[in-house]
Amino acid sequence: MSNNEKTEKILIYIGNTVRRELRLTDNPILHHISELLSKNRTPFTHLLPIYVFPARQIEISGFLSPNTNTSDGAVSDTAIASLPKPPSEVESPYPPARSVVGQFHRCGPHRARFWAESVWDFKSSLETVGSGLAIRVGRIDDILEYVLDYFKSGKGNSASVRCEVVGVWITAEEGVAEKTDERNVFRVAGMKGVNVRTWKDEKFLVDDRDLTYMTPKEIPDTFSEFKKAVGPLRDAPRKPLPPPDMLPPLPTRVPPQPNPFIVPNSLEGWVYGLLKPLEEDPMAMVTPPYSIGARSQHTYHGGEAYALEHLRNIIGSGRITAFKDPRRGIIGEDCGTKLAAWLALGCVTARQVHEYLLDFEGGKTRLGQYAKGYGEGENKGTAGIRLELLWRDYLRLCSRKYGCKLFRLEGFKGEIDRQWKHADDIDIKQQVQRFMGGNTGNPIIDAILREMYLTGYTSYRGRDVVAKYFSKQLGIDWRIGAEWFEYCLVDYDVSEFWGNWQYCAGVGNDPSWEVPPVKIGEVPEMYVKQWASDDSI
């Protein structure tokens, strides 16, 4: 190395870490890096955050190209939009991102757009503190191996710069696919002689380190037991971490997107590429009609900035005081916080929400000062929001306890106590297709299904009613229904969705739990008329 040559010591922040931590605030890794930087103690000079749209969870064939990659891994939107349908010889190295039982796309258009918006917002936020984000498609281990080889081969070097990767940091997450990704990151990094450090996932309400359970087996099988063990919920969460003041810069040269894919350089390009395969799918041709007068309850934009804006709005307006248990609310009623989609992607954390609630209850800030309940301590609404956040924590821990059983027909319960119907029977297949299109003949069920498909959202009470109808009244393999929800809904969260479907289907770890039947007058007539009407646009 010449006297004038500088060494860029690069820390890679990839995969599991950023997939559901799309925020600057309350981000343990970024907070730690910022603290080291402020004390001039970083063992690295550059930071390379990499976000990978995972090929097994979202369809990425819209980015296939017969062309070679560009120097920076990104192309213009015009280039993306003008791509012809890839010729047959340009094949994806990955199978289609489809569900196991129903073979639906795993991510539908509403969530794909929201996901892209959230990633792009995170990229913009990182740029404000001196960093950036390399957005890629593929498998996390494949991208990591390509990046490590790129720097090891000297492609990242220049006449005056030599690059050296000094570590890879990831966050440990729950979920079978997430644990597989984590193992693969360790495998690839180990092969290349690079150390990996895992971090605790801290986006939930109660920190795992503050729970009394030492092993997954100790996690209670009922939510009431879990809630009792946590203790006074208002005192349980830790304080959220502040956003970083500054982060190390990106390396001089950033490895491009590996072939046979190209990636865009704008949000519009990402949305186009993610939606393209969905629009070409035959499923898009059976869309139920959008009824005249129907309005979406979820018209929000993905990203940390939008999550915090929404959180401030519901506090400032006093809506948090009026919060009702969404599983005991009225179908079609706007009674929830609508934070779930942002929580699922880590655009905001549960303990951030809790901190905002504390400020409102204690009158510590001016936000919500004219709203009912301001400065009067905890009320039914704010307590209910905390309880809903704790429910998310509990289902995540159930995923840890039961692992692959989350996706099995017998569920956490571990036994098949009824004769499930399957879609390999032609009559059942047609029944499933009518269900997907919101044409079951049951006006309430059809209204809920159409709202969900067309907008990416429906009330939690409505979801439970549909899940019970599909699994118990129709008696069809409940996993098909869960997979359809995964496709349709913008706020999909693996532990919450699959865990909740198990409860509704009676195969969860608390089989005594039942979805309350729909009462007379519970569903507003206008709601059914809006979504299940024959008067369509």
Model pLDDT for residues 214-236, shown as the tens digit of each residue = 788 999 999 999 999 999 999 99
| CA end-to-end distance (rounded Å), the chain | 69
Calpha distance 290→284 (Å, rounded): 13
| Residue type at 443 in one-letter notation | P
- CA 163 from centre of chain: 33
Calpha distance 33→42 (Å, rounded): 7
Is pLDDT at 80 greater than 70 in this prediction? no
Query: What pLDDT is attached to residue 358?
Result: 98
Is pLDDT at 160 greater than 50 in this prediction? yes
| Residue type at 136 in one-letter notation | R
Calpha distance 348→24 (Å, rounded): 9
**Closest of 327, 324, 298, 256 to residue 68, by C-alpha:** 256
Calpha distance 163→444 (Å, rounded): 61
Q: Which two tokens stand for residue 257?
A: 């997107």
Query: Which of the pair, 453 or 70, is modelled with greater confidence?
Result: 453
| CB-based contacts of 59, cutoff 8 Å, min separation 6 | 96, 97, 105, 106, 107, 274, 277, 278
Is pLDDT at 290 greater than 80 in this prediction? no
71 confidence band (pLDDT: 50, 70, 90): very low
Read off the pLDDT of residues 91-111 as tens digits, 9 standing for 90 and up.
999 999 999 999 999 999 999
Calpha distance 403→412 (Å, rounded): 9
Query: What pLDDT is attached to residue 349?
Result: 97
- Average the pLDDT over each of 38-52, 104-118, 504-518 and give the range with the smallest value: 504-518
| CB-based contacts of 520, cutoff 8 Å, min separation 6 | none
- DSSP helix/strand/coil, 468: helix
C-alpha distances in angstroms, 391 versus 106, 118, 228, 379, 432?
A: 24, 24, 13, 18, 30
Is pLDDT at 165 greater than 60 in this prediction? yes
284 confidence band (pLDDT: 50, 70, 90): low
Mean pLDDT across 430-442: 95
Count CB neighbours of 31 within 10 A.
18
Cα torsion through 40, 43, 44, 48, rounded to 10? -110
Query: What pLDDT is attached to residue 368?
Result: 95
Identify the H or E element spanning 147. helix 140-152
Question: Do 104 and 484 meet the contact criterion of CB atoms below 8 Å apart?
Answer: yes
Query: What pLDDT is attached to residue 259?
Result: 96
C-alpha distances in angstroms, 15 versus 280, 294, 354?
A: 28, 38, 27
For 317-335, b/e burial (b = at least 16 CB within 10 A) is ebbbbbbebbbebbbbbeb
Question: Do 248 and 38 meet the contact criterion of CB atoms below 8 Å apart?
Answer: no
Question: Do 175 and 404 meet the contact criterion of CB atoms below 8 Å apart?
Answer: no
Question: Do 203 and 350 meet the contact criterion of CB atoms below 8 Å apart?
Answer: yes
Is pLDDT at 535 greater than 70 in this prediction? no
- DSSP helix/strand/coil, 289: coil
Q: Which two tokens stand for residue 527?
A: 């709601």
**Packed helices 380-402 and 494-505: angle between N→C axes, nearest 10 degrees:** 90
Question: Do 108 and 278 meet the contact criterion of CB atoms below 8 Å apart?
Answer: yes
Burial class (CB in 10 A: 0-12, 13-18, 19+), 370: exposed
Does 492 show up as a binding residue in the annotation?
yes
Calpha distance 231→387 (Å, rounded): 12
Mean pLDDT across 379-392: 96
Domains of the chain: 6-201+266-279 (3.40.50.620), 304-532 (1.10.579.10)
Calpha distance 366→203 (Å, rounded): 26
Count of alpha carbons within 13 angstroms of residue 410, beta-carbon side: 8
Is pLDDT at 406 greater than 50 in this prediction? yes
| Residue type at 140 in one-letter notation | I
Query: What pLDDT is attached to residue 87?
Result: 47
The CA-based diameter of the chain, rounded to the nearest angstrom, is 82
Winning range, highest mean pLDDT, from 3-12, 115-124, 176-185: 115-124
Read off the pLDDT of residues 443-497 as tens digits, 9 standing for 90 and up.
999 999 999 999 999 999 999 999 999 999 999 999 999 999 999 999 999 999 9
Q: What is the pTM of this model?
A: 0.93
Does 534 show up as a binding residue in the annotation?
no
79 confidence band (pLDDT: 50, 70, 90): low
Does 417 show up as a binding residue in the annotation?
no
